[in-house]
Amino acid sequence: MSNHNIIEFHASSTTSMSGLARVPGDKSISHRSIMMGSIADGVTQVKGFLEGEDALCTMNAFRDMGVKIDGPVDGKVTVYGVGLHGLKPSSKPLDCGNSGTSMRLISGLLAGQDFDSELVGDASLSKRPMKRVMDPLALMGANIHALEGGRPPLKVRGKRPLKAIHYDLPMASAQVKSCVLLAGLYADGITSVTEPAITRDHTERMLNGFGVQVKTENGQISIEGGQVLKATSIDVPSDISSAAFFMVAASICENADITLKHVGMNPTRTGIIDILKLMGANLELSNHAVVGGEPVADVRIRSAQLKGIQIPEHLVPLAIDEFPVLFVAAANAIGQTVLTGAEELRVKESDRIAVMAKGLQACGIDATPTVDGMIINGVGGQPGTRYHSAEIESQGDHRIAMSFTVAAIRATGTMRIKGAQTVDTSFPGFVQLASSLGLNVQSVKI
């Protein structure tokens, strides 16, 4: 991985944003296109693939297991599938880098192979909880070992016949759901997962696209083992999680009118739009279409005076990755914003509740972390209302680094954001695209 350079972002205020942009491809869909293309029969063509480090980790893992993959070149990737049972043992541990999605989903596929594997990650990933996927896989008959507390590396023993299970997810997690469904392809019988709340359904949609029958009813998703995946073509939508930074940026900027093209509008991911609209954002959707089973639209965002709200808990799983930048929106709103039911934020790339609260407090914003969320009293957005800039420690979390770049729009002085090199994991070219829309941000090698 190329994270040897330590990068800081230096960001300062701006009063005007305009232009058209297409943010990079959806990370969740890019990961899954490689995984499913690899175990499909035939050749899968992908365009709009996110060339970020997380998705490239997934690609390299499958190359290490003997899959021929061409690209990426300008977002185009060709995956020469080896079929459900064609993966080969890797001569070295499979490196998932910073990517929890890679480790959790691939562990489900590896549980059904007839060879042993090891999954490793970087320092951040090595602290993240994997017991949540190990537990259901063990119920299916898999043999997986980890360090104390279920921390990586994960050692997956092969040649274990998997049996179908009915699993009630203890938390709303698309990664755990996806892991169990992918393992279910290798299990004898019908595997089903019941969710406590709706989570993103990219895995189910894409399995359908590869010709696999996945049934969803009343919060239960089920899949029959042994189904063959047939190669297909995938057009990856722009990542709504990446678009979110510019939705908030344009909302809090004094004079903004921007349009983001071809943004993924999967209904399990649009919590950011619903929440911003509740806060009074000026968002318009147009050019609705469906590509490869995934809805997309263009999003026009103009300046708006945001207001504080109690964030409805049913929207929390639909916006879980966008809360760092939503906290910035709340800081610029009139009145109080309260988030509850988001304890999942504490086990992301960083403890996003603690790290965001500390950074906002450093800027002089009244932000109080709670066990499962945050209470933020916004400064309002009138021209001239500013908070001060600060030196922000992003804890190597890409979404925190980008969120404070957005916060700098209404700050005095220069925001110095440390540990920004991980932004490439999800949003290569972030600084260039942000600058093209009017943000004042520079990437500085330390």
Instruction: Give the DSSP letter string of 36-87.
Output: HHHTSEEEEEEES---SHHHHHHHHHHHHTT-EEEEEETTEEEEEEE-TT--
- Highest mean pLDDT, choosing among 61-70, 121-130, 315-324, 374-383: 61-70
Q: For the domain made up of 7-25+237-445, give the CATH fold.
A: UDP-n-acetylglucosamine1-carboxyvinyl-transferase; Chain (3.65.10)
* pLDDT one-digit tens code per residue, 226-277: 999 999 999 999 999 999 999 999 999 999 999 999 999 999 999 999 999 9
Rounded average pLDDT over 159-188: 96
Task: Please choose, from the candidates 237, 323, 348, 331, the residue with its C-alpha nearest in 3D space to the C-alpha of residue 272.
Answer: 323
Instruction: Tell me if residue 365 falls in helix, strand or coil.
Output: coil
215: helix, coil or strand? strand
Report how far apart, in Å, the C-alpha atoms of 126 and of each of 47, 155, 185, 398, 424 are: 31, 13, 27, 17, 19
Q: What is the mean pLDDT of residues 107-118?
A: 97
Instruction: Using alpha carbons, select from 324, 330, 319 the residue that is nearest to residue 403.
Output: 324
pLDDT one-digit tens code per residue, 321-345 = 999 999 999 999 999 999 999 998 9
What local confidence, expressed as pLDDT, does residue 383 receive?
61
Q: Which residues have a catalytic role annotated?
A: 321
Q: State the Cα–Cα distance between residues 63 and 81, nearest whole angstrom.
A: 11
Distances from the Cα of 264 to the Cα of 241, 275, 290, 292, 369, angstroms: 9, 16, 9, 11, 30
Nearest to 13 by CA among 367, 255, 240: 255
State how far the Cα of 58 lies from the Cα of 52, in Å rounded to an integer. 10
pLDDT reported for residue 1: 38
Provide the percentage of residues in the chain whose pLDDT is more than 90. Answer: 89
**Residue extents of the structural domains in the chain:** 7-25+237-445, 27-235
Q: In this structure, what token pair is assigned to residue 233?
A: 């073509």
- DSSP classification of residue 23: P
Is 440:408 a contact under the CB 8 Å cutoff?
A: yes
Check residue 193 and give its pLDDT.
98
- Mean pLDDT in the chain? 95
Q: What is the pLDDT of residue 3?
A: 45
Mean pLDDT over 70-77 rounds to 96
First-to-last CA distance in the chain?
18
pLDDT at position 382 over 90: no
Mean pLDDT of 82-95: 98
Say what the pLDDT of residue 197 is.
87
Per-residue model confidence (pLDDT) at position 4: 59
**What integer pLDDT is reported at residue 385 of this predicted model?**
67
The sign of the CA dihedral 361, 17, 396, 100 is positive
Q: How confident is the model at residue 386 (pLDDT cuts 50, 70, 90)?
A: confident
Q: Give, for 156, the enclosing helix (H) or strand (E).
A: strand 151-157
Which of the listed CATH numbers 3.30.460.80, 3.40.190.80, 3.65.10.10, 3.30.420.10 matches domain 27-235?
A: 3.65.10.10
Q: Which amino acid is at 206?
A: M
Compute the average pLDDT of residues 200-219. 94
Dump the DSSP string for 108-148.
HHHTTSSS-EEEE--TTGGGS--HHHHHHHHHTT-EEEEEG
Q: Do domains 7-25+237-445 and 27-235 have the same CATH topology?
A: yes
pLDDT in tens, 126-145: 998 899 999 999 999 999 99
pTM of the full structure: 0.85
Question: Mean pLDDT, to the nearest integer, of 306-311?
Answer: 98
